[in-house]
Amino acid sequence: MTTYSKPEFLFGHLRHFRRDQIGFLSQFADATEIVPLRFLNKQAYLLRDGEHIHEALVKQSGKLHKSPALKNSTKNSLGDGLLTSDDPLHKQQRKLAQPAFHARQIANYADTIVAFTDRYLARWGAETTLEIHEQMMLLTMEIIAKVLFDADVAGDAHAFGNAITTSINATMQRINSPLARFALTPKQRQAMRDGKILDDLIYGLIAERQASGNNNGDLLSMLLFARDEETGEGMDIKQLRDECMTLFIAGHETTANALSWAFYLLAQHPEEWRKVQAEADRVLGQTRPTFEHVKALTYTDWVVKESMRLFPPAYVTSRLIREDVQIGGKKMKAGEVLIMSQYLMHHHPAYWEQPEQFNPQRFATDRTIKEGYFPFGGGVRVCIGNHFAMMEAILILARIAQRVDVEWIPNQHITAHPAITLRPEPGIQLRLVARQLLPTLA
């Protein structure tokens, strides 16, 4: 029988979890039964069965709330936006934001994605060595600001990126050490200073749009011009800020990680990279990728899915039980916590053959939560940007594959760092060399 780390008298499993989240969770790698845990005096359960996770995220989601740990620790950065709010606010706000993510709307974003990728390709030139995670962060940030807020942040992307990293580090400190919520540590102080840079950006965009009175049809206009059906009132400025900030941060950080891990894996598996390039050549020929091409870029789609299996950007998710539930025959009480880990499920030997192997082909058959795969969560709280993120990642990968060769730089020691998302530390160095192009290539 497997022996798990024992709870400490006062802290329960909290200190072990804080020290090494992935290591802590990985001790339950083979378990399929529900694992009881304790964080301080809080009873928690780790769900290890796809059916149980489906039950929690999809079937019984009405009895669950977002976890207070996430809410409290992101109060200053994300506030009460879509990611952290609960019903009835969440339901109302999701309805308002949803049209920005409808299939017809996201098709319009494809040209921006490719045009902005081309700016980076031009900057990289004929041959370069670069840190791909940083480049993907900047690129996806510029894209999200353009498509959701019609803003060009290219000039300030570095400063915003640094501010977001500071904010994430401070958030992690607050999650891992609840005392940090009340103490002004240097990290928290830095986060407050940097938080102002991001606040100024978002409030500035809102004020500009209010002053212009223009309805651009983008997300910012949708939220700004939305009126309550009963009272006719618009959203207050703080709520607008929280929604925009949430979408700005959640809308690029995760996709950038997914892309970075895809490059990490592809550069170390040149035979897979050649398949992505061959597909790009076959499907795109010499033309720029468009929304219409995405469906035909099947192998690239599998590569993105397989990269998110091995390195899920959102690696753990939790819920507070609001009303007693029964899952997998186990009764759980209101006030207790459910933990579900994409990282664990995506590596679970009961669900995946040779789980540690990079094998995009396995996604020739789609996988569901019940089958151990949920990079975008599920149910009513499923990621609002899932289709957009997939399209964006596929277009960026395909465009880069069409234009450059990617080479791995040996002797790098990269680890998956569990910040709010799974980041590659200390970054990924790659060599990029422009492919021999025909002069007519668009």
Looking at residue 20, its amino acid is D
Closest to ligand HEM by CB, 136 vs 280, is: 136
List 15, 38, 94, 187, residue binding ligand HEM (CB under 6 A): 94
Distance between CA atoms of 184 and 428, rounded to whole angstroms? 33
The answer to whether the peptide bond before residue 99 is cis (omega within 30 degrees of 0) is no
Closest CB to ligand HEM among residues 17, 376: 376
Q: Which is nearer to ligand HEM, 188 or 300 (CB)?
A: 300
Distance CA 282, CA 203 (A): 45
The H or E element containing residue 127 is strand 127-131
- Residues 30-49 binding ligand HEM (CB under 6 A) are none
Q: Which is nearer to ligand HEM, 250 or 276 (CB)?
A: 250
- Tell me the closest approach of the beta carbon of residue 283 to ligand HEM, in angstroms: 22
Buried b (16+ CB within 10 A) or exposed e, 381-401: bebbbeebbbbbbbbbbbbbb
- Name the token pair of 294: 């995405």
Nearer to ligand HEM by C-beta: 303 or 384? 384
Q: Report in angstroms how near the CB of residue 260 gets to ligand HEM at its nearest.
A: 11
Give the separation between CA 340 and CA 48, rounded to whole angstroms.
7
Q: Cα–Cα distance between 77 and 419 in angstroms, integer?
A: 15
DSSP per-residue codes, 231-260: T-----HHHHHHHHHHHHHHHHHHHHHHHH
Q: 332 and 324 in contact (C-beta within 8 Å)? A: yes
What is the b/e burial string over 301-310, where b = at least 16 CB atoms within 10 angstroms of the residue's CB?
Answer: bbbbbbbbbb
Q: Is residue 391 at the binding interface for ligand HEM, with CB under 6 A as the rule?
A: no
Instruction: Work out which of 338, 383, 396, 406 binds ligand HEM, going by CB under 6 A.
Output: 383
Looking at the Cβ atoms of 74 and 255, the one nearer to ligand HEM is 255
Q: Which of 83, 280, 320, 422 lies at the binding interface for ligand HEM (CB under 6 A)?
A: 83
| Interacting residue with ligand HEM among 226, 244, 247, 391 (CB under 6 A) | 247
Residue 58, interface with ligand HEM (CB under 6 A)?
Answer: no
Q: Measured between alpha carbons, how far is 375 from 368 in angstroms, rounded to an integer?
A: 10
Q: Which is nearer to ligand HEM, 52 or 381 (CB)?
A: 381
Q: What residues from 128 to 147 belong to the interface with ligand HEM (CB under 6 A)?
A: 144
CB atoms near residue 204 (< 10 Å): 11
Establish if 251 lies at the interface with ligand HEM (CB under 6 A): yes
Nearer to ligand HEM, 149 or 388 (CB): 388
Smaller CB separation from ligand HEM, 299 or 311? 311
**Residues 278, 79: Cα–Cα separation, whole Å:** 45
Binding mask 257-296 for ligand HEM (x = CB under 6 A): -x--------------------------------------
Binding mask 292-321 for ligand HEM (x = CB under 6 A): ----------------x----xx--x----
Q: Is 254 a residue that touches ligand HEM (CB under 6 A)?
A: yes
For ligand HEM, which is the closer residue by CB, 188 or 398? 398
According to DSSP, the residues that pair with 37 across neighbouring strands are 44
Nearest approach, Cβ of residue 219 and ligand HEM (Å): 8
Q: Give the shortest CB-377-to-ligand HEM separation in angstroms.
A: 3
**Is-cis flag, bond preceding 424, omega within 30?**
no
Closest CB to ligand HEM belongs to which residue? 385
Q: Shortest distance, CB of residue 56 to ligand HEM, whole angstroms?
A: 10
Q: Which token pair is 37?
A: 């845990």
From residue 227, how far is each of 92, 93, 95 by CA, in Å?
Answer: 11, 11, 12
- Candidate residues 58, 303, 389, 420; the one interacting with ligand HEM per rule CB under 6 A: 389
Q: How far apart are the first and last CA of the chain?
A: 60
Amino acid at 52: H
Which of these, 261, 369, 240, lies nearest to 317 by C-alpha position? 369
Distance, in Å, from the CA atom of 220 to the CA atom of 209, rounded to the nearest integer, reads 8
Asked if 255 touches ligand HEM (CB under 6 A), the answer is: yes
Calpha distance 98→81 (Å, rounded): 14
For ligand HEM, how many residues bind (rule: CB under 6 A)?
24
Least distance to ligand HEM from the beta carbon of 388, Å? 5
Q: Which residues in this chain contact ligand HEM in the complex, by CB under 6 A? A: 82-83, 94, 144, 246-247, 250-251, 254-255, 258, 308, 313-314, 317, 375-377, 381, 383-385, 388-389
